[in-house]
Amino acid sequence: MADLMRTRTRAITLGGLLAALSLLFLVIGAISPTADLSLYALSSLPVAIAVIELGWRRAFLVYVTVSLLGLIWPGLAFTYLFGFFFGLFPILKALFESKLKRPLAALAKQVVANVLIVTATWLFARDMILAQAEVWGWWYIPALAAALQVSVIVYDYALGLLITFYLDRLARHIRNGRIF
C-alpha cells in the first residue's frame, strides 16, 4: 500500500513539475522578442519526458494542463501553437514510433503534423497567410508548404535528439531520485 501511494505521489509530482516546466517555456517565449519557435519546441520536451516516465494517459494530462493554463497566461495568441502542434506531437511521435516501422512512422508523423499545423493556421492565421499571398504572389503558398515539410522534419529530428539526451544523461538521475 505504501509503495502504491509513493508511486502515485511521484507520478503526480513529476507530472506537475513537467507541466510547470513546459508552461515556463511558453511564458518565456511570449516575453522573448526572439527564439519563439525554439521555445515552443523546447516546451514540447517535458511532454515527451512525461510519455517516457508516466505513460500515455498522464502525458496527455500534462499536455491538456499546459494547454489550459496557457490559455489563462500567456494567452491564446501564444498557446495555440502548443495546443495544436507542439504539445500533441511528442505524444503522437511516441505512439507512431512504437507501433509502426520506421518509414511508416515517418510518413505518419509528417501527415499528422501537416494536418495539425494546417488546422491551426486555418483557424488562427488564415487571413494573414492569404494577405501575404496577395502581396508576394501565387508562389507564396507552395513555398510555405515546402518550408513546412522541412520544418517538421527538422523539428522531429531535434526532438529525437533532445529525447536521446534525456535518456542518456538525465533519466537515470530522475529514476534514482537524485534530482527529484
> Cα–Cα distances in Å, from 57 out to 21, 90, 100, 165, 168?
19, 13, 20, 23, 24
What distance in Å separates the CA atoms of residue 124 and residue 113, rounded to the nearest whole number?
Answer: 16
What is the pLDDT tens value at each position of the chain, 180 positions in all? 888 998 899 999 999 999 999 999 999 999 998 888 899 999 999 999 999 999 999 999 999 999 999 999 999 999 999 999 999 999 999 999 999 999 999 999 999 999 999 999 999 999 999 999 999 998 999 999 999 999 999 999 999 999 999 999 999 988 887 665
Task: Kindly list the domain boundaries of the chain, sorted by start residue.
Answer: 2-175
What distance in Å separates the CA atoms of residue 126 and residue 119, rounded to the nearest whole number?
Answer: 10
Name the strand (E) or helix (H) holding 138: none
First CA to last CA distance, the chain: 21
Q: What is the pLDDT of residue 178?
A: 66
| DSSP states along 85-96 | IITTHHHHHHHH
2-175 has which fold?
Arp2/3 complex 21 kDa subunit ARPC3 (1.10.1760)
What distance in Å separates the CA atoms of residue 88 and residue 62, rounded to the nearest whole number?
Answer: 10
Q: What is the pLDDT of residue 175?
A: 83
Task: Indicate the pTM of the whole model.
Answer: 0.93
What distance in Å separates the CA atoms of residue 126 and residue 172, rounded to the nearest whole number?
Answer: 44
- The CA radius of gyration of the chain, in Å to the nearest whole number, is 18
The sign one gets for the Cα dihedral 96, 92, 17, 13 is: negative
